[in-house]
Amino acid sequence: MTIYGVALLAFCYLAGLWMGEGLASLMKVKSNVGGVGFGMILLILFQSWPLTKKWLVREVPSGISFWSRMYIPVVVAMSAIQNARMAFSSGYLAVLAGILPTAFCFILIPFLASRFNTSR
């Protein structure tokens, strides 16, 4: 049943956030630390671990995959509700922060590639 997939996803999401809250209070920060990342790890473990993998039969994955495909539309909606006028007033920052780090990464790729090719 599709709802099992949605429920499993909801469980991973909530448990991940809960772990993020726990980590935050351990580090004495007033926020959620890596909760989304933990949720993703939980979901990956669920579908890779042989014991739980067999739960994911029939329509169960469809309950998860629908939401994973809704990710781009949600991101578009999220962009539409930002305080864009304030952000565009410092527009060069977004352009610089988007391009400069990308250029650094491009430059580093051949070095990393040669390291790995010689070590193998």
Partner 1 sequence: MIPQILIKNGLITAFLSVGILILIAELISKKVFRNKIPTVALAIFMALMAAFIAGGPNGAADIPIMSELALLGGTMLRDFTVVATAMNASLDEIRKAGWLGFVSIFLGLILTFFSGAACALLFGYRDAVSLATIGAGACTFIVGPVTGTALGASSEVIAISIAAGVVKSIAVTIGTPLVAKWIGLNNPQTAMIYGGMLGTTSGVAAGLAATDPRLVPYGALTATFYTGMGCLLCPSLFFLVLNLYF
Q: Which of residues 29-88 bind partner 1 (CB under 8 A)?
A: 29-41, 43-45, 47-48, 61, 64-65, 67-68, 70-88
Q: Is position 19 an interface residue for partner 1 (rule: CB under 8 A)?
A: no
Q: Is position 22 an interface residue for partner 1 (rule: CB under 8 A)?
A: no
Burial class (CB in 10 A: 0-12, 13-18, 19+), 97: exposed
Q: Is position 1 an interface residue for partner 1 (rule: CB under 8 A)?
A: no
Q: Could you say which of 51, 54, 92, 118 contacts partner 1 (CB under 8 A)?
A: 92
Q: Is position 104 an interface residue for partner 1 (rule: CB under 8 A)?
A: yes
CB atoms closer than 10 angstroms to residue 62: 12
CB of 4 to partner 1, least distance (A): 13
CB of 2 to partner 1, least distance (A): 13
CB of 63 to partner 1, least distance (A): 9
H or E stretch including 21? helix 2-26
Q: Is position 26 an interface residue for partner 1 (rule: CB under 8 A)?
A: no
**For tokens 């309950």, what's the residue?**
63
Residue 9 and residue 64 in contact, taking contact as beta carbons nearer than 8 Å = yes
Residue 19 and residue 33 in contact, taking contact as beta carbons nearer than 8 Å = no
